Amino acid sequence: MIDLRSDTVTLPTETMRQAMAQAEVGDDVYGEDPTINRLEALGAQMMGKEAGLFVVSGTMGNLVAILAHTHAGDEIIVGANSHTYYCETGGLAMLAGVMPRLIDDESGIIEPAAVKAALRPKDIHFPQTRLVCLENTHARGGGVITTPAQMRDIYELAQENNLKVHLDGARIFNAAVATGIAAKEFARYADSVMFCLAKGLSAPVGSLLTGSKEFIERARIARKLVGGGMRQAGVLAAAGIIALESMIERLAEDHANARYLAEGLATLKGISLQLERVQTNIVIFNLIKPGLEAGKFLASLKQKGILANSMSPTSVRMVTHRHIGRAEIDLTLAAVEEILAE
């Protein structure tokens, strides 16, 4: 089966499996797991932050960050298409008790002017705005990159208004590899950064949340609150260390393969896509053949041994990763062409 649903389907490497089997462990709730401690220190250093916190998922990392930055009843400024708002089961409202102030991020990039327009004046009728949430790369935006310069403008605006900035950097290393700019240069313009180990980096489980020591102390309490206090979890952290030490640079292969896929799709009658938005490992395209909706298209693809996801009734997302090479893409393109011709 050719699985293009997400880079979350990647399997751990043999080196990761060996490291997991041999990992030195301890009780992480007591701060005594040496492998987790090493992973957290490594991740913080790569983001240019003081401290890190290992969490089971990006969703937990984003939730814990919001809990650590805000109080119930506060307002956060967040993109209407962001993963934090759109794909995390309403946790920011149900568990953090914050109110989202939605702004346009359909392009995959939040404009400083949109953040500025969302700021409320001081008024007894309004909630207190505490936090701006960014996403880089932007999943529903097709893997689009927000540059450090663009992030800086928002960060400076937030500082001027006494707001914190949290970055959902689930795929920050994709942005770094695609631009040739170190991840810490993106992270410079956020008070906290979450990034995933279990997507293109191929670790089986886990994400890291990074920030100041004071912030991570609060986040550690929030992680415990939501049931994320782990014990001998160094067996998981061991794979994360391998991911950070040896799996980042190969993301360039995923980007090249995504571009190859997108260029092939763009030649097919019945498909519309914006090549300029294929900047990393995500390809989103629209079905413009009359009568062909995403559900039917995906069912036909599955019959041909290919999995993908829909983004709307007429749009489809495909994500390249370590298990997808040119041969798999050629087979996918041939299958799509056959379906469009039916």
**Model-wide pTM > 0.85:** yes
- Give the pLDDT confidence score for residue 286 in this predicted structure: 97
Say if CB 133 and CB 154 are below 8 A apart.
Answer: no
**Residue 165: partners with Cβ closer than 8 Å, 6 or more residues away:** 131, 132, 133, 134, 154, 155, 158, 189, 190, 191, 192
Which is it for the CA torsion 93, 48, 113, 69, positive or negative?
A: positive
- Give the pLDDT confidence score for residue 10 in this predicted structure: 98
Domain with CATH 3.90.1150.10 in the chain: 250-341
**Residue 116: partners with Cβ closer than 8 Å, 6 or more residues away:** 157
- Give the pLDDT confidence score for residue 183 in this predicted structure: 98
Distance CA 339, CA 333 (A): 10
Tokens 């709730």 sit on residue = 29
Q: Dump pLDDT digits (tens) for 196-242.
A: 999 999 999 999 999 999 999 999 999 999 999 999 999 999 999 99
Q: Does domain 250-341 have CATH number 3.40.630.30?
A: no
- Give the pLDDT confidence score for residue 119 in this predicted structure: 96
Mean pLDDT, rounded, for 44-70: 98
- Residue 28: pLDDT band (50, 70, 90) is very high
Residue 161 CB neighbours (<10 A)? 13
Say if CB 76 and CB 132 are below 8 A apart.
Answer: yes
- Residue 27: pLDDT band (50, 70, 90) is very high
Distance CA 151, CA 275 (A): 23
**CA distances for 224 relative to 67, 207, 219, angstroms:** 11, 15, 9
Q: Cα angle at 72 between 70 and 78, to 5 degrees?
A: 55
Domain with CATH 3.40.640.10 in the chain: 7-246
Q: Dump pLDDT digits (tens) for 62-117.
A: 999 999 999 999 999 999 999 999 999 999 999 999 999 999 999 999 999 999 99
Distance CA 285, CA 334 (A): 16
Which of these, 263, 258, 317, 307, lies nearest to 286 by C-alpha position? Answer: 317
Q: Which CATH number applies to 7-246?
A: 3.40.640.10
- Give the pLDDT confidence score for residue 78 in this predicted structure: 98
Backbone angles phi, psi at 213, to 5 degrees: -60, -40
Distance CA 277, CA 310 (A): 17
| Residue 285, token pair as written in the block | 């395209």
**Residue 99: partners with Cβ closer than 8 Å, 6 or more residues away:** 73, 74, 75, 76, 93, 127
Instruction: Specify burial of residue 89 (Cβ count, 10 A radius: 0-12, 13-18, 19+).
Output: exposed
Type of residue found at 61: G
